Structure 1
Amino acid sequence: MAESVVGFLINQLATLLSQEATLLGELQPDVQFIKDELGSMKAFLRKAEAKEDNDSQLQEWVKQVREVAYDTEDVLDDFAFQFARGQTDGFCGYVGKIYSSIKNLKVRHHISLQIKDIKARVEQISARHQRYQSLNGTQERGSSSSHMANADFHIRDQALLIEEAQLVGINKPKEELTAKILDDHSHLKIVSVVGMGGLGKTTLVKKVYDDSAVKKQFQSHAWITVSQKFQFNVIIKNLIQQLYDEIRQPVPSQVESIDGIRLSEFVKDFLKERRYILVLDDVWSLDFWEAIKYILPDYNVASRVVLTTRIADVASASCLASHDFVHKMKPLSDEQSWTLFCNRTFQSNGCPPSLEEVSRKILKKCEGLPLAIVAIGGVLALKDKERMDEWEMILHGFGSEVDGSGKLDRIKRILLLSYNDLPHHLKGCLLYLSIHPEDFPIQVINILEKWITLGFVEEKEGMATTDIAMRYLKELINRSLIQIKDTWDDGQLKACGLHDFLHEIIISKSKEQSFTTTATGYYTRWPVKVRHLAIHNFTNKPQDFSSLKCLRSVQIFRYEDPLTTSFLSKFLCGGPKFLKVLGLEGAELDNIPKEVFKLFHLKYLNLRGTRVKIIPKSIGQLQNLEVLGLAETNITELPVEILKLRKLRVLVVGRTGDYSNNTIWGFKSPDGIGKLISLENLGSIEADSDEIVREIGKLIRLQKLTITKLRREDGKELLSSLLRLTNLQELDIQSIKEEETLDLQHFFPPRLGFLRVLHLRGHLERVPQWVISLQSLSELRLQYSGLKEDENVIGSLGQLPNLRFLMLHRAYEGETMCFKIGGFRKLRRLQLQQLRRLKWVRVEEGSMPSLQLFTFAGCKLMEGLPLGLQNLTGLEGLGLYDMSNELIHKVQNLDKQSGDYQIISHIPQVCIGHWIDGRWEREFL
């Protein structure tokens, strides 16, 4: 994490130093020195952080580097706060202006002393580093790394020695892998096993490797543990040793002296006429695979390479041939987890009834991770079975168990390997997730925006920062550190989460590095300096906010004791002047305290779900604001001062209706919205004048746009504006009233090559031709369209090549609907809602081959169930909501010999439901 902080700070210093000399005056040489010294330290920090857990002296040095980086950031932000406030062009645009406008020389002198003090500290830290290297250089290069490598191998050796009796849920994946290895395919086949640490990849592969049928199939066998710090020549010599030990011959003497290329050729020659199986356990990089694949001969003798890894890209890159295979490890089921837990904790004697409830709660935290279950089971096995209080202490003190008590060190070390392997820019992103409560679904769009505004995302020319942040998230998923929890209908990521064990580990790591602090209902001793504060719930609100002077972010979660306007005002008064992120979703706020508008550095303000009604004119003071979230509030209008926020990237205002109306209410915008040229996400703006519609065309960076109250006469102007929005990915258009026509039929199609999501809410004379031409469109919702049966609606929409989700809500007035062969090739979800005249639906064989969920809501279907449902062989769910009583009764009482039963018998899940008091009441058949 120190490497991440230093890297971020170096970028800040470089930006500052790029200004004219007058910006810093006599401070410029000192700032340049700090930047240069930190740059030198950064090169060493990555290796140092990976070793610091085993070296107290090194740990102290890393801590000092981190603290001086934090303090330097504070001084820089204070400099901007004191001398850049009230300007109109942002911190980095005041070339030559700031120095001449300084009035408070005392403040400047104070900052000068701070910078000189930091310079002195940096000099001391640098000198200490030099002494450390000279005294311990040999150990650092040799025994220290050797010790860590041995520790890693020791952990993996333990995984190989687990008794068969302890293995649960391994039979089915073992059979599957064995079958893939023993098939009669004559070419070299690669089998990759991928998943997060602790899932049992090594254990599974070892059982397959030791299987007698597998042993008999191959002439040569070798098992290589790669690990993070692999040395290619050492690995090759290890492989040669195993191959010669197997044939009981000494390794040729020349092997010790030849170089890497000749070593590779030696192995290739040895294996070229043999049927071999080679296991590469714990592969961390594509570089290793690219290096070793050239020594693996393929002479049509059905050899096999089995590879285990935590990194999805490594697994997929190694398995590029059509006959290769990737096995994704899955957590144990609840039943399997309970069996393994009881075997380990109670030695197969069964759980005492008095301990079952607390045991299941503890087990839930393991989330099916075998190593975690074995580890926590080992802790509990030593506890008194008659002392429930000891078991309750483990449950409630779970974090402290992971936090270095020694009992769960093994699982912690294994999971920390993945953290230590991260590049510096991803470490801060991962640690910041520790602000979330356990099992909390992390909304992807929100966390990406926070990463950006807190400076964790490194900007790249020609790329949107949100796209870069999404790459970061996907890389953490790729490395098995973040789990996908939910996706949008078009397949995009919606919510993610952390395994409970990993969550506790990054909380521990974050506390250790003074990165995040969590306030709960329990007594919390606050650190001297708090940088990122998560308020889960505290009933005894602290009165001393002195430790919040360096605060950069505040986020509330599940806050039971209402966070009121008066408390927030007191919290902010005279406290966190460097605050960049303020997330107050769901707080009991009727208005925004005036202290918020004094937060010069504030970049992210989210008031979603509050009772705020008015945005005051003082919003214009937040010159650095990038994200303003006002969704589901009572705000209906924004002041003209909003136009001063030229850095604003996200502006979301408005409320959404429920299933019964599917309406959105937007906000009245001041004239001149086109001045906010940095906007990437705008919603939901009312098109109450042709001027507003015209101004939207100036927002050329827009990726997401929601526009409401569109009048028929503004349709042509809107299409003209859309012609300029070539980056648009999501578009939602709603007419001024349900029966108003959306006049979008004009002959020139918008250039919307990247458009993935399209919602059209209003009457359509027909589906616009430009909609049918959207090659990237994956989600389409049509509401109140009133489309006629003779317009071939379904046939034309079925030609969209990448459509994955389609919803028709009061959009079609025909009585029949037929899905023709060859249509909707990629459609996965189809929702037909409130099509009141629809009586008959038919699905031809070969239509919608990818459909997984088919939902009807409020449709008559007088002719009964859709014909041809049996043709949808991949269908996983059928939903029937607010349908006729006759149809529901018929479905509930189907005779297994009837034709209708045969139509739906292949569908795993059939659900009926009714909309009652604003929510769905469901029943699964």
Structure 2
Amino acid sequence: MAETAVFFLLEKLTLLLEEELKMVMGFKEEVEYIKDELERMTAFLRVADAAEESDPELKVWVKQVRDVTYDIEAILDKCTLHLMQNELPHCNTLYIFFTKILRSIKSLRFSYKIGCEIQSIKSRINNVADGHQRYRNKFNIPDHGLNLLVVNNAMYERRDDALLLEEVDLIGIEWRKTELIGLIKEKNSPFKVVSVVGMGGLGKTTLVKKVYDEAAFKKNFQSHAWVTFSQSFKIEELLKGLLQQLFDEIKQPVSQEVNTMNCNQLKVIIKQFLRQRRYLLVFDDIWSTHAWDSIKLALPNNIFGSCVIITTRLIDVASYSSKQSDGYIYEMKPLSIGEAWSLFCQKTFEGSSCPSHLRELSMSILKRCAGLPLAIVAISGVLATKSASKIDDWVMLNQSLGAELEGNDRLESVKLILSLSFNDLPYYLKSCLLYLTIYPEDYVIEKNNLIRIWVTEGFVRPKDGRTMEEVAEGYLNELVNRNLIHVVRYNDDGSFKSGCLHDFLREILLSKSRDQNFVITTTGQHTIWPNKVRHLSIHGKLSNLQLKRCGAQLHSLHAFGMEGTQSMSNLLVMLNNCRMLKVLDLRGASLEVVPKVVFKLFHLRYLSLRSTKVKSIPRSIVRLQKLETLDLKDTYITELPSEILHLQHLRHLLVYRHVEYSYLPFDCILGFKALKGIGKLASLQKLSFIEATLGSDIFEQLEMMKELRRVSILKLRKEDGMPLCKSLQMLHKVRAISLSSIKEDEIIDLQYISSPPPFLQRLYLNGRLARFPKWIQYLHSLVKIYFRWSQLEEDPLEYLQELPNLVHLEFLVGYLGSELCFKAGKFQKLQLLNLDKVEPMRIVIIEKGAMTNLEKLIIQRCNFLESVPIGIEWLSNMKYLEFLICQMVSSSKYNNMVKTTKKLPTFLKYTTLIGRMVVGRLIH
């Protein structure tokens, strides 16, 4: 964490010194000295961040580095603000003359003040640097050998205690053991690697230990060994331990020469020993693909059916190791609600049922465990010591879980297990993960919103050939891969769409954030704030008592569920003292106008007024020259001032509102009127939703916006066809296009595209298509396509069936033919098919071998359809079927449909038609 802060500060200092800006205010040598000292500390901080938890003195030193870094950044931000405020307007000469004199006097005062602060910082840096040298001496680290630092292993020793806690007869462990053994036996291959993957505390080790100790299973193998890795493992020691177990099993001594062998020699000995044996090896808690690579060459791929089982928290490690053999991945899932409740009662009430007066409270506590066995066992151990008659003790634990994690020895194992995953993160991901504590408990975090904020906050390092948003998405995928973010919803292409934090992990991260003054969350007047707050998240109310706790170092402010006019008034007072703010998220706040104080926040880069009642944006928006994201989604804004065109750093412009409806209408989205000259926003990546009003130059302007990744255009007319196509062909980086005509019967003419955007992934077409745009069949990157109100007369499947990556296909009044036939071998990647109000379609045919990966089929309001799709029984991977008829049908026709659904695979035998409308009544 401290290294992250220093790294980004160094980038800023380097930029200032290279450009020799006035911001150094005559103190260039002092600034260079500070920069040099910080550079000398950076590499040491990388290992210090990982070791500080086990060394209180080191933790204090890291905090000092972090604090001084934030103070330096605050000084630089003050300089920037001072210069911006001193820019002279275009006025008469006499005014400029007197203004220059006045501002020169102010600048002298400001320079003196900044000079004093820099000298103070220099003195603090010297003290911190002395502490740095003391720690070099303590760890005996040479200047050229920072990588020789060995992180204290106390946490890994305590991890063994946590594993002992897992060694209980957990609910559901037996059927999971049987399932895993069955899967291992199912594949009769000569050699396989089975990866058991899941977040810490799910019971991976417990499950594998049950399998490993199962006598009937174990007897199938001649040699057995269990090796536990750690984040700081030494491969020579692991190999010697493995060899010792193998020789102990046959009751033979290991040669003394082994003690002097190097890594490769040890691998040769192990490989020779195992070559003629059927062996079962377990490698527990592997943290990287490097760790697997370090051991795999010692394992002979013989023909006897040997098996290696690994446990890991990382999905990419599981995939990497299993794919190199005829193996597979076994993903551990949280306990079901029923299993969790049984385990909770077994451990809390010694197998008895839960007292009725504690049931609701127990369910609330259990919900926070989110099916994590280790958490359930640990918290049950705490509750078992509390009297069932003292309900206040139970209420206190439920309300102060974070404090219990800090001070209760019974919960220490949970904290240690989950903290290991955090400590293993590369430094650039630690800030990203800690930042997630801005969100309330159980809040569903949206991917696009999160990565935009990460970029704005400066957490993302640039990479050649990729936008900052693409790099940030890579960061997010890495956290998901490490099972630190629970996926709530996937995109159609399988990528992350939204997710949340496990409650226990969130509490641990909240504690770390508070310790580091990184993120402070407040739910009312009882929250204790530190003197310096960097990121503030307000959940609910904001009291008068808290107003003075925010200073100049506040970088971001998020308000969730802001309650009451008093809280909003207090918030506006607070904003007057937060001139260095970069992120302001007021989503859902009770606002009808944008507060004037917002336009005094010259450092602001991210502004969200989403889901407010704001109706207009004032011209003073021009003051926010650094603004990168303007989120006005679900507000009442339909026009933007021309001054917004001066915001040259703007990357994301979201101005649209979904109308309320009971069923999807044609005009379901309202956008904003096109601005003349909007092409001046050359950095724009997302433009949603702009109206192609008569007389606007929107299409010519689009050609100038070379960085666009997503563009959404409303109110298109037939005559717009040629200029629209010409502009779309120029958007070589675009990934998503949404086009809507001005009315349902208006034609969107897309016949003039000869060279479509090469990387287009999502295409949404809302409006009539006179002919099918044949260029669509060449969009090899296309993942999703919608045809809504397209009224196509020719069969669209002919042009779509060969698309190699198409996952989601939807028609709403999209086709006027009487038959759709999905041919054998086509649509091989398709997972979701939605046919809605496709009339007069009577027959849907699915040939054997078509849509082999289809998981979800929705057919609704297709009132002329004569039966369930012919060949539906071939869809062996289907998991969800929705079939809705919104008109009266004969009993014979309905019974025929039900009979056809019974041909579906066994796992769908309980799925029938969602319903039919008969005499105004829906029958399930």
Q: Where does residue 883 of structure 1 map in the other structure?
A: 886
Deviation at 1:546, TM superposition (A): 4.7
Cα distance in structure 2, aligned partners of 1:755 and 1:563: 48
Aligned to 1:863: 866
Alignment partners' CA distance in 2, 1:323 and 1:924: 48
Q: Which runs of structure 2 are paired with 1:460-539 in the superposition (5 Å)?
A: 460-521=463-524, 523-538=526-541
Secondary structure of residue in 2 paired with 1:462: coil
Measured after TM superposition, the shift of residue 567 of structure 1 is 4.7
Distance 2:259 2:912 in 1: 66
1:565 and 1:412 map into 2 onto residues whose CA distance is: 36
- After superposition, give the CA deviation of every residue in 1:104-148 in whole Å (9 maximum; x if it has no partner): 12112211221221111111011123234435659x989972544
Q: Which residue of 2 aligns with 1:350?
A: 353
1:484-541 deviation digits (Å, cap 9, x = unpaired): 1112344442211111111111111111111111121452122211211111111635
1:185-204 equivalent positions in 2, closer than 5 A: 185=188, 187-204=190-207
Contact 1:610–1:632 under 8 Å retained in 2: yes
CA deviations 1:160-180 (Å, max 9, x no partner) are xx24xx222112321233234
TM-score by length of 2: 0.92
CA distance in 2, matches of 1:131, 1:758: 60
Question: Is 2:335 the partner of 1:329?
Answer: no
Pair 1:605 & 2:607 matched: yes
Partner of 1:319: helix, strand, or coil? helix
Q: What residue in structure 1 maps to residue 2 of structure 2?
A: 2
Residue 676 of structure 2: which of 671, 675, 685 is its match?
Answer: 671
Runs of 5+ unmatched residues, structure 2: 89-99
| 2:778 is the counterpart of 1:776 | no
Name 2:225's counterpart in structure 1. Answer: 222
Gaps of 5+ in 1: 89-97, 916-920
Change in 2 beyond 3 A, CA 1:579/1:535: same
Contact 2:861 2:884 in 1 (8 A): yes
The 8 Å contact of residues 490 and 757 in structure 1, kept in 2 or not, is answered as no
Partner residue of 1:47?
A: 47
Q: Secondary structure at the match of 1:407?
A: helix
What's the CA shift string for 1:853-898, capped at 9, x where partnerless? 22233331352433333332322222234611337x779x849994
Write the deviation string for residues 657-678 of structure 1: whole angstroms up to 9, x where unpaired.
4433142222113211111110
**Are residues 1:661 and 2:665 paired?**
yes
Q: Among 172, 176, 200, which residue is 1:173 paired with?
A: 176
For 2:63, the equivalent position in structure 1 comes to: 63
Say what the alpha-carbon RMSD is for the aligned residues.
Answer: 2.8
Task: Using the TM superposition, name which of 792-801 and 249-258 deviates more.
Answer: 792-801
Helix, strand or coil: the match of 1:408?
Answer: helix
Which among 705, 728, 737 is matched to residue 734 of structure 2? 728
Instruction: Give the Cα–Cα distance (whole angstroms) in 2 for the partners of residues 134 and 229 of structure 1.
Output: 21
Q: Could you say if the C-alpha distance between residues 650 and 72 of structure 1 is closer, same or farther in structure 2, counting changes exceeding 3 Å?
A: same
Once the two structures are superposed, the pairs formed by residues 781-820 of structure 1 within 5 Å of their partners are 781-788=786-793, 791-820=794-823
Provide the rounded CA distance (Å) in 2 between the counterparts of 1:253 and 1:259: 13
Q: CA deviation at 1:87?
A: 6.0
Query: Shift of residue 899 of structure 1?
Result: 4.9
Q: Contact 2:525/2:545 (CA < 8 Å) preserved in 1?
A: no
1:555 alignment counterpart:
558
Q: Which of 752, 757, 760 is residue 755 of structure 1 equivalent to?
A: 760
Structure 1 window deviating more from structure 2 (678-687 vs 867-876): it is: 867-876
Matches of 2:248 and 2:922, distance apart in 1: 63
Distance 1:440 1:46 in 2: 31
TM-superposed deviation, 1:49: 2.5
CA contact (8 A) 2:280 2:306 kept: yes
Contact 1:50–1:420 (Cα < 8 Å) also in 2: yes
SS in 2 for 1:678: coil
Output the CA distance in 2 between the equivalents of 1:382 and 1:39.
Answer: 51
| 8 Å contact kept, 1:853–1:876 | yes
Instruction: Check whether the contact 2:139–2:149 (CA below 8 A) recurs between aligned residues.
Output: no
With over 3 angstroms needed to count, the CA separation of the structure-2 counterparts of 1:862 and 1:470, relative to structure 1, is closer
Aligned: 1:259 with 2:235: no
1:92 aligns with none
- Contact 1:564-1:588 within 8 A present in 2 as well: no
**Structure-2 residue corresponding to 1:156:** 163
Q: Matched residues in 2 for 1:890 and 1:127: separation?
A: 88
Structure 1 residue 829: Cα displacement? 1.5
Equivalent residue in structure 2 for 1:745, among 747, 751, 755: 751
- Matched with 2:92 is none
Out of 696, 704, 707, the residue aligned to residue 701 of structure 1 is 707
Q: 1:700 to 1:514 in 2, by over 3 A?
A: same
CA deviations 1:609-648 (Å, max 9, x no partner) are 1111111111111110000011111111111111100000
Q: 1:871 to 1:274 in 2, by over 3 A?
A: closer
How many Å apart are 1:61 and its aligned residue? 1.0
Distance in structure 2 (CA, Å) of the matches to 1:193 and 1:898: 40
What secondary structure sits across from 1:193 in the alignment? strand
Checking the alignment, whether the CA contact within 8 Å between 1:563 and 1:588 is kept in structure 2 is no
Q: 1:17 to 1:588 in 2, by over 3 A?
A: same
Q: 2:652 maps to what in 1?
A: 650
Query: C-alpha displacement at 1:709, in angstroms?
Result: 1.4
Deviation (angstroms), 1:469? 0.3
Q: 1:27 matched to which residue of 2?
A: 27
**AA in 1 matched with 2:714:** T
Kindly indicate whether the alpha-carbon contact (under 8 Å) linking 2:158 and 2:416 is maintained by their aligned counterparts in 1. no
Give the structure 2 partner of residue 81 of structure 1.
81
Stretch of structure 1 that moved more, 427-436 or 400-409 = 400-409
Please state if 1:237 is matched with 2:243: no
**Conserved 8 A contact 2:607-2:629:** yes
Contact 2:615 2:637 in 1 (8 A): yes
How big is the shift at 1:382? 0.5
Task: Pick the aligned partner of 2:720 from 708, 714, 719.
Answer: 714
**Equivalent in 628, 639, 646 of residue 630 of structure 2:** 628
Partner of 2:91: none
Instruction: Check the 8 A contact 1:539/1:561 in 2, yes or no.
Output: no
Query: For the Cα contact (< 8 Å) 2:543–2:567, is it kept in 1?
Result: no
CA-CA distance at 1:71 after TM superposition: 0.9
- 1:876·1:908 contact (CA, 8 Å) conserved in 2? no
- In 2 relative to 1, CA 6–563 (structure 1 residues): closer, same or farther, beyond 3 Å? farther
CA gap 1:242/1:562 in 2 versus in 1, 3 angstroms: farther
Q: Which residue of 2 aligns with 1:918?
A: none
| Cross-structure match for 1:95 | none
- Which residue is equivalent to 2:113? 110
Aligned equivalents of 2:617, 2:361: Cα separation in 1: 48
Aligned counterparts of 1:593 and 1:362: Cα–Cα separation in 2: 40
Within 5 A, what are the aligned runs for 1:290-305?
290-305=293-308
The one-letter amino acid of 1:41's match is: M
CA displacement at 1:794 relative to structure 2: 2.8
Q: Displacement of 1:55 after TM fit?
A: 2.0
Is residue 452 of structure 1 aligned with residue 440 of structure 2? no
Q: Which amino acid aligns with 1:362?
A: I
Distance 1:23 1:897, change over 3 A: closer
Show the counterpart of 1:585.
587
SS at match of 2:193: strand
The corresponding residue for 1:16 is 16
Kept in 1: contact 2:194–2:328 (CA 8 A): yes
Aligned positions, number:
901
Contact 1:182 1:214 in 2 (8 A): no
* CA distance in structure 1 between the partners assigned to 2:674 and 2:567 by the alignment: 28
- Partners in 2 of 1:647 and 1:221 — Cα distance? 61
Out of 430, 434, 439, the residue aligned to residue 431 of structure 1 is 434
Q: CA deviation at 1:316?
A: 1.0
- TM-score w.r.t. structure 1 length? 0.92
- CA distance in structure 2 between the aligned counterparts of 1:137 and 1:795, rounded to whole angstroms: 71
Contact 1:798-1:823 at 8 Å conserved across structures: yes
Secondary structure of 1:327's counterpart equals strand
Asked if the contact 2:47/2:151 (under 8 Å) is kept, the reply is no
SS at match of 1:127: helix
Change (3 A) 1:541 1:442: farther
Q: Is the 8 A contact 1:224 1:279 kept in 2?
A: yes
Q: Secondary structure at the match of 2:673?
A: coil
What is the correspondence of 1:840-859 to structure 2 with a 5 Å cutoff?
Answer: 840-859=843-862
